[in-house]
Amino acid sequence: MNLLLCGVNHKTAPVALREKLACLIPDVAHAYDHLKSWPEVSESLLYTPCNRVEVMCVSETPDEAAARVREFFASHPEIAPGDLDESFYVHRDREAVQHFFRVAASLDSMVVGEPQILGQVKQAYREAAAHHATGPILNRLVHKAFSVAKRVRGETGIGDHAVSVSYAAVAMARKIFGDLAGKNVLLLGAGEMAELALEHLKGQGAGRITVANRTLERGVALARRFHGEAVSLEELPEQLLVADILISSTGAGNLLITRDQVKGVMRRRKQRPLFLIDIAVPRDLDPAINDLDNVYLYNIDDLNEVVQQGWQHRRQEATKAERLVAAETLKFLHWLETLEVFPTIIALKDKAEAICQAELKKTLNQMGPLTEEQRQALEVLTASITQKLLHDPIIFLKRNRRPKNPHQELDLVRRLFHLDPDRNGGDAEKDEE
């Protein structure tokens, strides 16, 4: 039995191709109807988190299964025959397991350490289970992936530092205020990075959201998204009195807030801390504002420096995470190999037990009356001999990892101990006669 992972991602395919492939999947039931109809695939999991479309499956004929998945991807009417030549990849067994663990642990994400992908994989698994597409192997694999992702998150600092300008702004605000819950946020302008920062702040429990924009309609629309309110730029002085955090990104080309304005506001605020983030280029806020007590002003360069430090930290922590993933991959493969030999081990034990019981019965009949202690002693003796004889073959089967021809070796063991008597037509005893 082989594990197979096929797909495309942000490293191999442009966004236009990924968008087309993602369009194959909106009807999950239809997609699984395809996957489950293929005789080459016994278990399957389809997942399409951001920037990837991948299928993990179990197959006894991996080449045929990979060809099926590729055909499925190529069935989109807008995909040209050669679109998949450079972007479609196939991973088998160890590479498939390791890739899947890395995806779940966000080591293969565009932003390493981002937390969203694990939830997306969990949702994909729920859908696969609902359509009865997974089985014992993929169920075990997926739950192990969840465990690996949790360990990576808990045992490394891969998600600790900011790696985007918007999140860096939030991280710096937390250093100043500690807890952002209930803090009032004033958004000056409606730039994309400022909007993203606002989303992060809201996720941290920020309280009142106020948007001040030159175009009031745009401000109203943005404020409505965050259950806030919109005000005009003329109301800025009064809004500064109640704001804890200000994010500015108007691109106006001139200073909208000066040092003297903030100085007057701080007296009225009784020196309550004010955190300002100027993402605009050219800057919206007077750099001299930072000279005031209890006022903390950061610009885009300050945030970029934090981002670079964050990336360096995450790269270091990713190295630790990769070692963890590699170790867990080997553990899972060992379980998979044991699973493959398990039927042979059971058959070997069953045959030995049957022979043992038959010979014991024959011997007891020939010996005549025995005491209960004598009978038990003979039973213990025969069971002990059987176990000792089976010990080495079983250990060989369990420990012989990744042989060149695993199916041939299992077949040899089954032939050696005649575990499939119907294969050659008749029992070994009859052949001897």
The conformational region for residue 51 under phi > 0 = left, psi -120 to 50 = alpha, else beta, is: left
Angstrom distance (rounded) from CA 395 to CA 171? 54
Q: Which of 347, 336, 337 is nearest to 415 (CA)?
A: 347
Interatomic CA distance for residues 410 and 398, integer angstroms: 11
- Residue 215 DSSP label: S
Q: In the chain, helix, strand, coil percent, each to 5?
A: 60, 10, 30
With a CB cutoff of 8 Å and minimum separation 6, the contacts of 431 are 424
- How far apart CA 59 and CA 144 sit, in angstroms, is 20
What pTM does this model have? 0.63
> What torsion, rounded to 10 degrees, do the Cα atoms 406, 4, 143, 112 define?
130
Domains along the chain with CATH numbers? 2-155 (3.30.460.30), 165-308 (3.40.50.720), 341-432 (no CATH)
Rounded alpha-carbon distances, angstroms, from residue 57 to 53, 119, 239, 282: 14, 20, 57, 52
8 Å CB contact between 177 and 196: no
Contact 6, 87 (CB under 8 A): no
Beta-strand relationship, 43-47 and 52-59: antiparallel
pLDDT tens, the chain, 433 aa long = 789 999 999 889 887 788 778 776 667 888 898 889 999 999 999 998 767 889 999 998 999 999 999 988 888 777 887 888 889 999 999 999 999 999 999 888 877 887 778 988 999 999 999 999 999 899 999 999 999 999 998 998 887 765 677 778 888 888 888 888 889 999 888 767 677 777 888 888 888 899 998 888 888 888 888 888 999 888 888 999 999 999 888 867 788 899 999 999 999 998 899 999 888 877 889 999 999 999 999 988 888 787 777 778 888 888 999 999 999 999 998 888 777 777 788 888 888 888 988 988 888 888 888 888 988 888 899 889 988 988 888 887 776 655 455 566 777 777 888 887 765 544 444 444 4
The bridge status of strand 89-92 relative to strand 2-9 is antiparallel
Catalytic residue positions, numbered: 50
